[in-house]
Every structure is written in C-alpha cells, then in structure tokens.
Amino acid sequence: MNVMDIFETMEYGPAPEAATPALAWLKERQPFGLFINNQWVKPASGKYLDSISPASAKPLAQVAAANSTDVDAAVAAARTAFTSWGQTPGHVRARYLYAIARHIQKHSRLLAVLESLDNGKSIRETRDLDIPLVARHFYYHAGWAQLMASELPGYEPVGVVGQIIPWNFPLLMLAWKIAPALAMGNTVVLKPARYTSLTALKFAEIVQEVGLPPGVVNIVTGEASQVGEALVKHPDVNKIAFTGSTDVGRSIRRVTAGSGKKLSLELGGKSPFIVFDDADLDSVVEGVVDAIWFNQGQVCCAGSRLLVQEDIADRLITKLRTRMEKLRIGDPLDKAIDMGAIVSPGQLNEIQRLVAQGVEEGATMWQPSWACPTDGYFFPPTLFTNVAPAATIAQVEIFGPVLVSMTFRTPTEAVALANNTRYRLAASVWSENINLALDIAPKLKAGTVWVNCTNMFDASSGFGGYRESGYGREGGKEGLYEYVRPGWEKITASTIATPTTPTTPATLATSNGSSPSGDANTQRAGELVADEDMRENGHDALGFHSDLPPIDRTPKLFIKGKQVRPDSGYSRDVYDSHGRVIGQVGEGNRKDIRNAVEAAHAASGWAAGTTHNRAQILYYIAENLAVREKEFARRIVEQTGRPYTAAAEEVQTSIARLFSYAAWTDKYEGAVHRPPLRGVVLAMKEQMGVIGVACPDEYPLLGFISLVAPAIAMGNTVVVIPSQSDPLCATDCYQVLETSDLPAGVVNIVTGERDALSQVVAEHDDVDAMWYFGTADGSRQIELASAGNMKRTWVSYGHPRNWLDSVQGEGEEFLRESTQVKNIWVPYGE
C-alpha cells in the first residue's frame, strides 16, 4: 500500500497498546488474595472468581471470593486503624494522599491498560480520562486533608466506611470514594464490582508502596450477596457509600434504616441532552458522541435522551447518522477505536432486551451498516427516533450505547420533556444563545448541567443527583460532609436538655394520682409557679385578668395560608404538665397531608423570589413574634411547666434564630469553581423543594422555628408536624405567619400524631426531603418509607439536641440540609 492508496480510503491502521506488561503483572499475582491490614490474605471460603475480558470473553485473572468472615476481618482491621488514623494530623494525611496521587501517575500506563482489559472500555478513555481524573482526585483531597482543621472546624471523621462501587469506572469510582474518606480521617473497606476488581487490586499495591498505615484501606473482592450485603449490614460500619443501580440503592436504604449509618447513594440516570435550533450542530454531533457512546453508554449521567427543537430535528438526525456510520468499535487496546466492549454478557442481554422492547413499542431503530466484532460482548451505537415520551426506552436506564430522540417546540416544552423522568442526575443544554442556556439550566431537575458540553468531571465540582438518582455529592467541598459528623454529636445525652414527655391520654391515668406524664413532670413540679400564680390571681391561662370564661380557641390546621378544619372532623386534647386539658388541636390525617403537600407545591414561586424579599419576611415574622413575646412565653409555661424565665429565653432565642436565618438568606451562597478547562462551573445552592418537617417535642416554639426558618430561608416550602405533646406554640404562630406577608402555602402546619403523619409525608412521592426529630423507631420508619422515591432524610435517631445552643440548634448544618448543590458547567471562548 502506498501513500496514494491510503489517501483514497483514509482507512485507520491498527494502533494497538501493548498488553504484555499488564498481563505479566496479572500472571505473577495469580490468584489474587484479599487486601486486609496491608496484607494479602486468602479468602475464608477458599474460593476464587474468574475475571473475564469483555473484549475477548476470555479469563484474565482469578480474584478471591470473600464472604462475611472476611468482611468481619476487614472491618475489624479498619476499626483498629481508625483509632490512630482518625487522630492523625491533617498534614500527615495530606502527605499520604499526595503520595498516592504521585504513585497513580507513576503507574498510569499499567492502570490504564488493566482497566481497558478488565472493563472493555477503550484505552483512549482510560489513559486520557479515567486515570488522570483518579490522580486529580487524590491531589485535590490531599488539599482538603491539609485544610480540614481550619475549613471544617467542629467536624470529626465518621469512622469506618463501607464503600461499594460499580464496574463502569472501576478505579475512578474507587478514587471518588477513598480520597475524601481518607482526607477526612476515616478508614475504609471497599468492595469492587464483581466484574472489575483488577485496578482496585493494583491500587492496594500502591497503598503498600506509599506506606499507608495497615487497616486504613482494605479491599475485599467477591460477590454482592457475600460481600456487599455483609458490609451494608455490618454493625461496626458507620457509613455506606454506594454507587450503582437505583434498585440496589433502594434496598441499601431499607437495610440501613434506623441504624444511624450515614448513607450516600449515587444511582442511575436518564439524562436529557437538549438541542435548541441555534446550536452549533457540528459541535452537537460530537457532543452526542461523548454523551452516549463514551464508555459504550455505560455511564450513569449518559445523555441518553436527545431532545431536539423540531425545526432542526431532521438535519441533526441526518448528521448524526453520518457520524455514527464512521464510529469505530473493536479492541479496547486499539488507540484509534471509539467504542469498546460491553462489560458482561448479562449487561449485553439487558441492552438487547430493552432495544427489542423499543422496537416492539413502535419506535424506529437505526444502527450503522457495519457489523460488530463477534468474539466479545459488543453492541453497536443505536439511535431511536419516533419515540413516545412514555415509552419504556424513554424512561428506563438502558446503560448501553442506545440514544432515544424526541422533539420539542418551545423552551417550556423542552424543560417539561427533560424533567419527565424519575431521575435527577445530569443534563446538557446546547444553544449559542447564552441567555437561553442559562435560563434553562436552573429549571432542569438535575445535580449537574453542562452548557454546550457534556460528561465533564473534576474533583473540585461535586457530582451527584437527587430522587431516584440518589443523594449526597462526590467531589467539591460539599462531598466532604458525607464523611464527617458534627463533633458535638458525641456529647452524651445527659448533658443535653431533657425532652418533655408527650402528655397523651394513654400516659395520663396513673394509679397514685401523681403527675400524669411521669418523672420528668414530677421533677418540674417545684418549678411550676408562673401559671399557678396566674390562675390563682384570677388570670386566665394566658395571663389575662377576667371574671368571664375565656373565649374558646380551637386551632385548626394551617394549609395554603388558611386555617382549615381537619378532614377527620376529630380533635385531640392538649394537656398541661399536670395532665389538665388546656385546649384541642385538629387531628390531621393522610388527606390533610396530601392537601398540605399540594399547597406547598403551588407555592413553589417562593424559591423564584429574591433572597432579599425572603429575608424581609423572616425579619417580619420575628417582629410579629416579638410583639407577642409574653403570650408565647406563657404558652410555653402552660404546656411544659417550665419556669417563666426559661420559657422567655426560648421565645427570645426563637426571635434571634429568625434573625439568623433572615441574615443567612442572602449570604449562604454558591461558589464558582475553576476546573482545568476554559470556563467556569457555577455551584449553585438550590432549594430542595418541598420539605416535610416533624418537630421535636422539647422546645415547642424553638424546635418549630429552628427547623422552619432555615428551610424557608433557602426557598423551600414546608409541611410541618409540630410538637405532638405541646403543639399550641405552633398553632399560635398561624396569626404571626398570616400577618407577616408570608405567601400562602410556604408554611403548612398539620397537627396530630407525629409518627403517623410523618410516615405519610415520608411516603409521599411529591415530597423532596423529610426531617424528623423524634424517637429512634420513628427515625427508622422514616428512613424506610423514604426509599419509595429516594427522598433525602435527616433524622435524629432519638438523640436529643440542645435547641438553645447556637451550634446544635442553628447554623450551617441546617442550611446544608435545606439545599443541594447544582453545578452548571459553562465553557467559554470561541
């Protein structure tokens, strides 16, 4: 063949990367043991699993098949190591992380080849993307280890972390998990995916090379049913970090419910790729290639739904088919191929099944004319047109190289179509009109939005979604909070204010006629002076002097800015600390909660208003509360039997707290990141949406204000279940809220049985987050129920909190729970 012949065809020649060093490395270490306490140990089962190369369907290596005995050993090693690693100065941890990053770079070629062999993805991707990002992640987190003491004061590591990762980015997911965990002083037990353990085992060698103390990183290979499940259930694991399918994420949520384990879940997606008619179509075509054929579409944030403005749809689809015809699929170690192999025969079957279903449901399928290699697990790039928005292939995550396209006419329609998914992970917007793109980006329900780009990642910019895409972020400062706890949580319950016991009828009748709600009230009896004195002197319960019987006040529920009767038509008695009935409140039920959620959604314009306006309203609420300061204090005395001075302090602190959040409203802001690209990433702190809030029994006013104020300050709307035992402070707030210009539906209050109502809120599909400050069992029920739509939860596990304290009762933790970070990537330059 001469140069002229080559010019005629422009055919690619083979450009293979040598596999020899990687194969030799594998051969020397056969079979692989488990990495526990910096040593290679045999699995207790004595069994091994084959690791298969997806491109050839041939075995590459044997890895240990661990079971729960090995998991126990690894967790024990991590626990022992935590006692010293958790105390190791940040600078020392930074040195280790820095060394790991350096060693990853030293072994980068071996790691890239191993990854391609094991996973089937192209060497172009592993060499140019996966491994550099792995190194960057360790460098970046070396920085956070160094800065932890100054930048996260008052926070401590969580302890032993169980980490479970998938097969699509084996080493990158390891880095996303291990780097922040170690930076924050935790120790880890990591389970790689069954199909792709090899780079994790090479990483174990790097751990040895850099001399990380034994037990800080433990790597346990094997199957989900033996290793993953044991890790999730293990009582000595303090946190689970998981990336994988939504179904498994949901089951992990259920298994860990009530255990107090922290949990972060990075799950599936069905991300929209939105193209407006003024977009640069040639860039769009390359963008689509990156969005859906990168890693064979086995990417949680793959742009798998192409949404095109109607007038350019035919033109774009024609261009796309031309480009697809030119894509090259084959040996992952060939540097000139675009697509490698699918990870396993099981995954290939699943892709084939869903594609067949798409055809059956009436969509039009198109594939290039060329054939795939037949000796491994390959699937061609596939494009569906004529797809109905409700079709299975438009809704279900295919996790393969399959693109479905739909059209829209207006920007509003584009947003509606884009958000028509149960996932909330990522989105791309393509338009040469930056005003349009930046208007659309915040409206997209996704944790990451890429403007005129796609699948960009950097350690500085947190990644993660919400709802069925999971919760928590990986990367950025926000990702660090997944691996720390506030230090005060270790304070024993006895040093924190004792909660009052609910005075329900069941607890009232006591045989000796003593204080109905038990010891707590007996102890308080001596303090109970204020309301006694008031009554004896002819004052009513609120301190007003009168010979007339008081006018009956029966608070209703507060929904959509109005006081409404409960659907049940029942009321519940409210008792003072002596067990005397002091009033009634509405007995809310499922229907009231549904109405409250609807009202909260209808008030979503609250988030779109200015932060200045929200701050003004919070100040106004404080002002109106201050006007009725004494009345509220007396109400607290009446319900709880606490001394007047303590009640007055609670009211004063509530007013101050409203001021705090009014102040924070326009100050808890996002950030602008400068990742290594020409452009910026706008990290915006977005409201969660509708938050369900179950208030604590103790501090009936302050508990209510401390939770509602940060939530609404950040633009959320709320459905609140006030203190069950002492709800009258919250119901007294109706008038305060009504006179403070708060738009109807921003705060909705449903009184009644806290746990029953909380359960309804936690199960509700249209509620985005649930906060619960009640019992340990109630917390467990909330976490269980939340798995339905994977809403984020914040529960107390029955631990008290000192609401008077400015660290425990207010601050960044509350603001963080009220928001989620959306990263909008905006490249610039011609």
**Which residues of this chain interact with ligand NDP, rule CB under 6 A?**
164-168, 191, 193-194, 223-224, 228-229, 232, 243-245, 248, 251-252, 266-268, 300, 347, 350, 397, 399
- Please give the DSSP secondary-structure letter assigned to residue 810: S
Residue with smaller CB distance to ligand NDP, 295 or 823: 295
The encoded tokens of residue 198 equal: 């090899």
Residue with smaller CB distance to ligand NDP, 26 or 230: 230
Residue with smaller CB distance to ligand NDP, 49 or 804: 49
Smallest gap from residue 530 Cβ to ligand NDP (A):
55
Smallest gap from residue 121 Cβ to ligand NDP (A):
13
Strands annotated E in 752-811? 769-772, 792-795
* Pair type for strands 239-243 and 262-266: parallel
Residue with smaller CB distance to ligand NDP, 170 or 566: 170
Pick from 239, 188, 212, 220: which is nearest to 79 by CA?
188
φ, ψ for residue 410, nearest 5 deg: -120, 165
> How many whole angstroms separate alpha carbon 300 and alpha carbon 425?
8
Answer whether the bond into residue 389 is a cis peptide, omega within 30°.
no
DSSP secondary structure of 620-646:
HHHHHHHHTHHHHHHHHHHHH---HHH
Smallest gap from residue 31 Cβ to ligand NDP (A):
17
Residue with smaller CB distance to ligand NDP, 156 or 397: 397
Say whether 266 is catalytic: yes
Say whether 695 is catalytic: no
Residue with the shortest CB distance to ligand NDP: 228
Around Cβ 352, how many Cβ atoms within 10 Å?
A: 13
Residue with smaller CB distance to ligand NDP, 117 or 585: 117
Of 17, 229, 266, 638, which residue is the catalytic one? 266
Q: In what order do the strands lie in the sheet with 769-772?
A: 562-564, 557-559, 747-749, 717-721, 690-694, 769-772, 792-795
For 47-63, b/e burial (b = at least 16 CB within 10 A) is: bbbebbbbbbeeebbbb
Smallest gap from residue 702 Cβ to ligand NDP (A):
40
Partners of 572 in the beta sheet? 585
Of 300, 301, 695, 729, which residue is the catalytic one? 300
Residue with smaller CB distance to ligand NDP, 200 or 691: 200
Smallest gap from residue 163 Cβ to ligand NDP (A):
10
Residue with smaller CB distance to ligand NDP, 232 or 312: 232
Place of tokens 């892709």: 351
Smallest gap from residue 254 Cβ to ligand NDP (A):
10
Q: Which residue stretches of 210-267 are H helix? A: 229-233, 246-256
Residue with smaller CB distance to ligand NDP, 98 or 167: 167
* Pair type for strands 305-309 and 272-275: parallel
Pick from 300, 316, 540: which is nearest to 427 by CA?
300
C-alpha torsion 247→249→250→251, nearest 10: 90
User: What does the angle CA 167 – CA 169 – CA 175 come to, to the nearest 5 degrees?
Assistant: 115
What residue type is 70 in one-letter code?
Answer: D
Residue with smaller CB distance to ligand NDP, 114 or 690: 114
> How many whole angstroms separate alpha carbon 70 and alpha carbon 41?
9
Smallest gap from residue 347 Cβ to ligand NDP (A):
6
Alpha carbon separation from 571 to 516, 558, 568, 601, 725 (Å, rounded): 20, 14, 8, 26, 14
Residue with smaller CB distance to ligand NDP, 224 or 756: 224
> How many whole angstroms separate alpha carbon 370 and alpha carbon 11?
14
> How many whole angstroms separate alpha carbon 723 and alpha carbon 708?
13
Alpha carbon separation from 328 to 19, 122, 302, 325, 402 (Å, rounded): 20, 11, 19, 8, 16
Smallest gap from residue 354 Cβ to ligand NDP (A):
9
User: What does the angle CA 494 – CA 149 – CA 218 come to, to the nearest 5 degrees?
Assistant: 85
Q: Which residues contact 657 (CB under 8 A, 6 or more apart)?
A: 702, 705, 706, 709, 809, 810
Smallest gap from residue 228 Cβ to ligand NDP (A):
2
Pick from 721, 726, 730: which is nearest to 782 by CA?
721
Smallest gap from residue 441 Cβ to ligand NDP (A):
22
Smallest gap from residue 221 Cβ to ligand NDP (A):
9
Residue with smaller CB distance to ligand NDP, 267 or 720: 267
Smallest gap from residue 165 Cβ to ligand NDP (A):
6
SS3 state of residue 242: strand
Q: Please, what sign has the CA dihedral across residues 228, 233, 239, 240?
A: positive
Q: List residues with catalytic annotation.
A: 266, 300
